[in-house]
Structure 1
Amino acid sequence: MSFLSIIVIIVHIVLAVGVIFFALQKMRETSDRGGAFGGGSGAVFGREKGLDKNSKIALTLGILFMFSCFLVTWIVA
C-alpha cells in the first residue's frame, strides 16, 4: 500500500467518525422535544428554520465523506 492510500484511508476514517459524532449530537438534541407525543420535534413544533452550527458541520462532513468514498475507491482499487 502506498503512502497516499494510507493517508486517504486515515482521512476517510476521521470523516466517518466526525459524521457519526455530529449525527448523534443532532439526534440527542432533538430527542427530548416531542417524544412524549409519538413524533419527532418536527411533528409537534414545526420545522426549524435554517441550520445551526452543528448541523452545518454535519452537512459539510457528510459531503466530504461522500467525496472521500469515491476517492478511496479510486486510489485503492
Structure 2
Amino acid sequence: MSLARQPSGPGKIGVQRDRCVGGGQCVLAAPTVFDQDEEDGLVLVLDDEVPASDADAVREAVWACPSGALTLR
C-alpha cells in the first residue's frame, strides 16, 4: 500500500525588501501569497512555502516584479 503524497509547490519565495519599490504587482498576481506593508508599502510574503495551487500566480508575480525583488528558490 502506498501513501499518496501532496503535490509540492515550485519552491520557496526569496525577497529582497531593500530592492522593493512598492509597485504591488506581486499582490495583484498572487494576493493569497503577497501583501504590502501598511507603513512603507513594501512587499510582505504571507507564506514563503509556495502552495502548488498558487504556483502559476507566484511565477507571474516574480516575473512581473519591476525591481526584481522576488525570486523562487
Q: Same fold (TM over 0.5)?
A: no
Q: Report which of the two structures shows the higher radius of gyration computed on alpha carbons.
A: 1
When you count strand as a share of all residues, which structure comes out higher?
2
Task: Provide the TM-score with structure 1 as the length reference.
Answer: 0.27
Task: Provide the TM-score with structure 2 as the length reference.
Answer: 0.28
